[in-house]
Amino acid sequence: MIDLHGSDLDDLIVAEKKQVAIEYHNEAWADGISDGIETEILAETAISTAVTELVRRYGETEVLDLLDQLRKRVEYGEFRADRALQ
């Protein structure tokens, strides 16, 4: 029998939700491309929608901190399609 403590179970639930969200985004992205929407437009509107929602929920200061973290991750190459996974 699997013995999952509360935090382990919570982590699994969050991971599952993230996977489902990625699948939703991928499907919407594919639909947009199929309808002739350029990737730059899809990306910009996705980022704008996300930032708007985050500012509404958490405020500008928290979102600016998140954007700083994302900038560092970009600089480290985390989002490069050709990056080598360790």
Residue boundaries of the structural domains of the chain:
1-37, 38-86
pLDDT digits (tens, 9 = 90+) for 27-68: 999 999 999 999 999 999 999 999 999 999 999 999 999 999
pLDDT at residue 3, as a whole number:
55
Lowest model confidence (mean pLDDT) among 2-16, 17-31, 63-77:
2-16
Q: Give the pLDDT confidence score for residue 30 in this predicted structure.
A: 97
- Model pTM? 0.74
pLDDT band at 1; cut points 50, 70, 90: very low
Write the secondary structure of the chain as one string of H (helix), E (strand) and C (coil): CCCCCHHHHHHHHHHHHHHHHHHHHHHHHHHHHHCCCCHHHHHHHHHHHHHHHHHHHHCHHHHHHHHHHHHHHHHCCCCCCCCCCC
